[in-house]
Amino acid sequence: MAKYGVIIIGGGFEATAIIIVASSEYRKPGVIGEGSLSGYGVSYCATCDGFLFRDREVAVVGGDTATTDALELSRHVGRC
């Protein structure tokens, strides 16, 4: 079985499998009520949640990423 190596600051290790989990935090616009509506109409992932808004009107708020999210959503929603 193949072994893979990972070198990190302060050392390293070997394993037969390596799972790397990277995370990011969405920048939230800070709109009143945003937190209480998260998961109930407010979403931060067009790719993950776009189908939930099929044939509905949606609004996209943000900068550069919002443009790509709007393009992604346009494949699912009624009007973006």
At residue 6, what are phi and psi to the nearest 5 degrees? -125, 130
Catalytic residue among 48, 55, 69, 80: 48
Query: Active-site residue among 49, 55, 64, 80?
Result: 49
Check if the beta carbon of residue 50 is closer than 8 Å to that of residue 75: yes
48 is catalytic: yes
Query: What is the number of residues in the chain?
Result: 80
Amino acid residing at 53: F
Q: Give the closest residue to 58 by CA, choosing from 43, 48, 68, 47.
A: 43
Give me the active site residues, please: 45, 48-49
